[in-house]
Chain A
Amino acid sequence: MSGTINEIQDEIIEEFAILEGDAEMTNFYIIELGQKLPPLAEKHKVEENTIKGCQSKVWLITAPEGERMTFEADSNSAITKGLVSLLVRIFDHQKASDIVDADLYFIDKIGMNRFIGTQRSNGFAAMIKQIKLLALVYRDSKEIVKTNATDK
């Protein structure tokens, strides 16, 4: 996984274009993506790591990497795991400030809302919100550290 957020989004758009909007193929492709996502260790599958607002269980953890962040995720639903894998692929190892500012145009471009439906779209939006919140908190904490350093 490498490239900027927008480069990865463009890759995803290209991959989905091959599926030609076929609902079944798209579902199966999303499941395959999820199957490739390494499973989260059981110890991380706890309440504090769950994303609220999803029908299924989604666990997301993050770790700092300098000014960048890493993400790992898992779900008890194969399709949801595939969906969250897209976000991990886009945001893993990105700068916190870039994550906060990211415009996720790939969602509309691949017509995601059409094939995952309203309930899942709401869940997907909750995942994005959670990632951006984590990034915002991390970015601001880094800025506070920086400011403090400058003050000295």
Chain B
Amino acid sequence: MTHILDDYAVLSPLRYKNNWLKLSVVTFGILAGVSSNSPLVPLVTAACMSFATVHFGKIPSGLYLRLLAGPAGFVLVSAVIIAFFFGEGVKLFSFDVLGFTLGVSSAGLNMALLVLARTLGGMSCLLFLSLTTPMIELFSVLKTTKLPDSFIEISMMMYRYIFVFMEVAMGVKYAQTVRLGYKDFRTSFRSVVMLGTNLFIRSWEQGEKLYVSMNSRCYDGKLTMLDEKRPVKLPEAVLACGYFVLVMFVFLYTRGMPLI
């Protein structure tokens, strides 16, 4: 909770690249990953995107690995369930537990590996976007879509206030921790309740103040934003095209080819 990914995105050198180029690279990778039947495609996108994030985006690799391991709990549990129960056919191996026969069939194992690879690929695409593109840049993209104004306004103000409340929450949490507020289950529950209440009341007062201050500055239901023009440079375009071609090639080559 100490750092959110946006903090890294603001410092990343890739921040100053064209937003649409980055978005198309990410969308392409995600779509290729979820629609492929072979684990190789998402693995290739994962490798390319991780390289781009760590090498071009200058993200510390330790942090990057920790972020990729984030979903591991959920994903591994689900993959194990899928491996054991998905698909029929010849079991590769099986054993008895309390009278039940548990076995892994080749279909199940293939599916589990595919799901693992897809999640890895998808997460690395998502991390590329969130570690190189701060939300401020994405707002100008959102403005060009047909989404209603009130939706975008609320997301912009919410973005701002996430940082304000994060800071409040962290301050309160430190203060509680040094006073042994998290020493055991009972006290930590009490502390979390106090923190939540304080945050709620404070956010409410902030919201009322925000309205008054915006009104006194002639807020008429529209926040205007100017975005910078950043043309795509040739080397970036070549690199992106090379990536598209590589992934397409792997996609077509491995179609319908099981790993095991």
- The answer to whether A and B assemble together is no
Interface residues of A (CB under 8 A from B): none
